[in-house]
Amino acid sequence: MICLVGAQSADKDEKQKGKMAVIIKPIPKKKYPKRGFASMDKAKQRKIAQSGGISAQKQGNAHKWNTQSARVAGRLGGAATAKNKKEALQ
């Protein structure tokens, strides 16, 4: 994001008389502290995610993709996107 700070007179050279120069400064982004999962280091995040995946597999809750189920999921996603585009154009 850019903020226009103000105008200053340019060089007092004969060519530049009467012209103004604009100073442009970037607006600093606000820094928010990371919380929860994002505050952890990558190794700890990976360990937690891995343990969740392993327990889901043991319980039988983990989804196992095969060609047919992936094809159906892709078709449903594509149909939903096409529907949203049609509605947006109307």
What global pTM score does this model have? 0.36
Rounded Cα distance between 71 and 79, Å, is: 12
75: left (phi over 0), alpha (psi -120 to 50) or beta: alpha
Q: List, for residues 2-46, the tens digit of each pLDDT value.
A: 444 444 444 555 555 566 667 777 777 777 788 888 888 999 999
Q: Which residue has the higher pLDDT, 17 or 72?
A: 72
Position 73 scores a pLDDT of: 85
Rounded Cα distance between 75 and 64, Å, is: 18
Interval 59-77 mean pLDDT: 82
Position 10 scores a pLDDT of: 47
